[in-house]
Structure 1
Amino acid sequence: MSASPTSGSPLAVFDPLALARRRARARALGPETFLLERVAEDLVDRLGAVKRHFGTVADLGTPTRALRDALAGTGMIDDYIAFGPAERDDTDIVTDPEILPFAPASLDLVISALALQSVNDLPGVLAQIRRALRPDGLLLAGFLGGGTLGELREAFAIAESDTLGGISPRVAPFVDLRDLGGLLQRAGLALPVTDVDRVVVRYGDPLALLHDLRRMGATNPLTDRRRAPLLKKTLIRLFEVYAERFADADGRLRATFEIVWVSGWAPHESQQKPLRPGSAKTRLADALNVPEGRLKRDG
């Protein structure tokens, strides 16, 4: 089953055809899944802390069956539906990542692992998820954040500047953690929570990192990417800069992956709500056990 295709958002930062080709190539090469498996395990742990059973669950865009396998046998869910790319072998409904075929108030839980970082219209996707959730339904997702591959971004910028006299987009502009709480609230999700998990992976050389990114389907998918092949002199300079700036004492090289976690609930009358202004029954000065005058700002 497939949703209707779309040409994408007017702000097409990511090229959907390039993303599909990279996922297909990763599958043909033999995917590197260590990061995705970590995120899947973490998501199950976080879901377990909620201490609730969920009926209809949508997995949105996860590139492999990692979440399905991680949740199997946990007893946390009933019906699991995988929405996402055709390249995934267990996709139940192939869908455009920007236009989701969710019926209103049809889902108890939406989960996603390492997928939402590559949608062009994240606010729009969050709004669609909100409409699809039943009252007191939950969104829980982990995806790549703004600090991901900062070392590679810096090394590429220096290498291209030194060898080409300018730089081109090489590493995706992942979303910043500080923006996510506001995006969740704009989408109409209640009790929004965001946090970050930074994973540092060490490599023997930059080429091993580039090979892993290729097998993750995570090489450059940007619409404005340089289309010409990477020059040998630029690659050599990239390796030099990376080793100069990001090597540990033992010579191994660091690569940081920033996993941003978001959760939010469809509003429900049972949820906690902030008190109305002026409804407090205890003065702040009393709670802090200080004279009231001490709380006033100087000047």
Structure 2
Amino acid sequence: MGSLSSTGSSCASALRSAVRSGARSYAVPSFAPSAASPFSVFDRNLKVAQRDRAARNKERSRLTDYVKDDVAQSMVDRLLDIKRRYPVVLDVGSGPGFLSKHVDPEITQKMILVDPSREMLYRDADLESEVPLERIHLDEEALASHFDENSHECIMSCLSMHWVNDLPGTLIQIKRTLKPDGVFIGAMFGGDTLFELRTALQLAENEREGGISPRVSPMTDSQSVTSLLNRAGFALSTVDVDEIQIAYPSIYELIDDLKWMGEGNAVVNRRKTLSPETLYAAGEIYKELHGLEDGSIPATFQIMHMIGWKPDPSQPKPAKRGSGTTNLADAIGEGHKPLSDS
């Protein structure tokens, strides 16, 4: 998602504040698969290596969980909005277990964590959890190789699918794994995520190096994700967009945190280096275009929440056209008169 370059500045957590703004009706992210795919946008092996590296430094990595923890809490709230309870929840792209931090035995009796990064998957294995956890080292794009069809009632995914190359195929596998009338609850980064960083890097690189390169991952919009859910065969699908804004002391702390989140740039055709001069220029442009009054800079994380259900005959269906039994005039009232043509 973000640039790989870093100057190793400290976290400065006390200077960061997360502010959730109202939902908006647009954009969100796109994701990653196998590097062997002819349609690969992301280098999946590199992404696993980045996340493994981040997880090995447990203390530093845990300090950067703030965005995913916030989104995980919001996702569990959405799970609680569903009247039924699920004994087992399958967490796809789980990381160390962001969702599991926010559940208890009244919500579910077990969570199965699936992640392609073994180091990240087991990063918090030494911490206690309120519900039993089963960890499976598995790529999100290979669910069908491990889980039977119609085997789970609830599948969730918290901020991992923006690195999936074959997003339609992954959604189809999730739907296949669900039991009829099972639910998928997911969240992905959206199209406006890190737009401030993207524009600052592009302007600086164009000015200093005479061209631009992909420094922030491409992302899709909410309409496209709705279409993908429908294409995968989900019923009653809904998508809504939210935003989280974090204040950082400078571009260096932002990039450093992205590194320890495991969210460094993994675009296949990325440039592997970024000169210190270009990064410095990007920091100055960032402050000039987006800087806050206190001297810090904002970073926007756009979150697209989605819910889809595996079709089942028991689900409500729209009434057939022409099947209405109420006269429109009766519904409006006898005193209503039609508009005059004059």
TM (norm. structure 2) is: 0.79
Structure 1 residue 258, shift from structure 2 partner: 0.6
Matched, 1:250 2:282: no
Matched, 1:50 2:82: yes
Kindly provide the amino acid, as one letter, of the partner of residue 267 in structure 1.
P
User: Structure 1's 283 and 293: CA in aligned 2 closer, same or farther, altered over 3 A?
Assistant: farther
Kindly provide the amino acid, as one letter, of the partner of residue 261 in structure 1.
H
Matched, 1:37 2:69: yes
Q: In terms of mean alpha carbon deviation, does 172-181 or 129-138 score higher? A: 172-181
Kindly provide the amino acid, as one letter, of the partner of residue 184 in structure 1.
L
Contact 1:37–1:66, Cα closer than 8 Å, also in 2: yes
Kindly provide the amino acid, as one letter, of the partner of residue 210 in structure 1.
I
| Runs of 4+ more than 6 Å apart | none
Kindly provide the amino acid, as one letter, of the partner of residue 156 in structure 2.
I
| Unaligned segments of structure 2, at least 5 residues | 1-32, 126-133
Q: In terms of mean alpha carbon deviation, does 248-257 or 6-15 score higher? A: 6-15
CA distance in 1, matches of 2:338, 2:176: 46
The C-alpha deviation readout for 1:125-170, integer Å capped at 9, x for no partner, is 1111111110110000112111100000101110110011100000
Percent same amino acid at aligned positions? Answer: 38
Q: In terms of mean alpha carbon deviation, does 140-149 or 81-90 score higher? A: 81-90
Structure 1 residue 186, shift from structure 2 partner: 0.9
State the partner residue of 2:39.
Answer: 11
State the partner residue of 2:96.
Answer: 64
Contact 1:285–1:292, Cα closer than 8 Å, also in 2: no
Matched, 1:198 2:226: no
Higher RCO, 1 or 2 (CA under 8 Å, sep at least 6)? Answer: 2
Matched, 1:84 2:115: yes
TM (norm. structure 1) is: 0.90
RMSD: 2.1
Structure 1 residue 84, shift from structure 2 partner: 1.2
SS at match of 2:293: coil
User: Which of 105, 128, 131 in structure 1 is aligned with 2:176?
Assistant: 131
Contact 2:35–2:45, Cα closer than 8 Å, also in 1: no
State the partner residue of 1:189.
Answer: 234
User: Structure 1's 236 and 6: CA in aligned 2 closer, same or farther, altered over 3 A?
Assistant: closer
Contact 2:35–2:42, Cα closer than 8 Å, also in 1: no
Structure 1 residue 10, shift from structure 2 partner: 2.3
User: Which of 288, 297, 316 in structure 2 is aligned with 1:272?
Assistant: 316
| Unaligned segments of structure 1, at least 5 residues | none
CA distance in 2, matches of 1:7, 1:163: 31
